[in-house]
Amino acid sequence: MSLKSLALIDSWPVSTAAAGVVGADGAVLGGHGAVGQRFPLASVTKPLAAYAVLVAYEEGAIELDEPAGPPGSTVRHLLAHTSGLAFDEHRVTAAPGQRRLYSNAGFEQLGDHVAKATDIPFAEYLRQAVLEPLEMASTTLEGSPAKDGVSTVDDLLRFAAEVLAPRLLDPRTVAEAMSVQYPGTKGVLPGYGHQSPNDWGLGFEIRDSKSPHWTGSLSSPRTFGHFGQSGTFLWIDPDAQVACVALTDRAFGPWAIEVWPPFTDAVLAEVRG
């Protein structure tokens, strides 16, 4: 199966783009563009890092509700962006669990916490726990677990297929990761303004009723994933049982806000027939 809708990326105002769609059975439904080219992921790094944290949890190296980050915060708070840490600074701006403060610093503290618990540098732990088992040979973490991943569409489709039909994790753990943590929490979705509520799972942003949003009008409320400031996104729609990845070489901006939702709608419409 080849999805004609993926060719819409050719009209995007970017120099290079690639996109692909995968089903829950792991079958790639379509790919377009430089699907084997490595792109900086920016915050699409976070779902990969979160998955490694969840592997550490299942291995017994950490607990989701053990202390981590600032005083009163836990691993769960850090994964759900409710630790109270600032966006890009390791300083506390709110009490844990009170506000959805999207935080790169929080994911950096997560990486440090797992590295300390396992005695393995986080980038290496991610490689052993997630990348190697999923044969994501073109993916690396080259710095912060919040934003310094580099990958390809091909590799991220392997990851998305894993999330749709988990093998590395217990499906109950993945179901928890895609469930709203600290319901009713308000906050700002970067690039899209204040959202009430600003729902988030464990490392994955949840669409729910957010408006505006970077997914489409046909996306189910249960859709979850992440986008990155490097012009990248990964969404997984558990109702449609498909996932889509798009990577570009242009920073996120008004162009992405304009073209991503209709692209997603076109993909979903074609998949559903």
Whole-structure pTM value = 0.98
What is the pLDDT, as a whole number, of residue 2?
81
Instruction: Report the interhelical angle of 104-118 vs 45-58 (nearest 10°).
Output: 30
Model pLDDT for residues 49-65, shown as the tens digit of each residue: 999 999 999 999 999 99
Closest CA to 240 of 214, 262, 265, 204: 265
242, 266 contact by CB (below 8 A): no
Average predicted confidence (pLDDT) for the chain: 97
User: What are the chain's domains?
Assistant: 4-272 (3.40.710.10)
β-bridge mates for residue 156, sequence order = none
175-182: average pLDDT: 97
Instruction: Print the SS3 string covering the chain.
Output: CCCHHHHHHHHCCCCCEEEEEEECCCCEEEEEECCCCCEEEECCHHHHHHHHHHHHHHCCCCCCCCECCCCCCEHHHHHCCCCCECCCCCCECCCCCCCECCCHHHHHHHHHHHHHHHCCCHHHHHHHHHHCCCCCCCCEECCCCCCEEEECHHHHHHHHHHHHCCCCCCHHHHHHHCCCCCCCCCEEECCCEEECCCCECCCCEECCCCCCCCCCCCCCCCCEEEEECCCEEEEEECCCCEEEEEEECCCCCHHHHHHHHHHHHHHHHHHHC
For residue 245, what are the CA distances in angstroms to 69, 128, 132?
31, 23, 20
Dihedral class, residue 213 (left if φ above 0, else alpha if ψ from -120 to 50, else beta):
beta
- Does residue 1 register a pLDDT over 70? no
- Does residue 143 register a pLDDT over 80? yes
- Does residue 273 register a pLDDT over 90? no
Q: Please give the structure tokens belonging to residue 165.
A: 């039909």
What is the rounded distance in angstroms from the CA atom of residue 47 to the CA atom of residue 65? 19
Higher pLDDT, 268 or 273: 268
24-31: average pLDDT: 96
Model pLDDT for residues 101-111, shown as the tens digit of each residue: 999 999 999 99
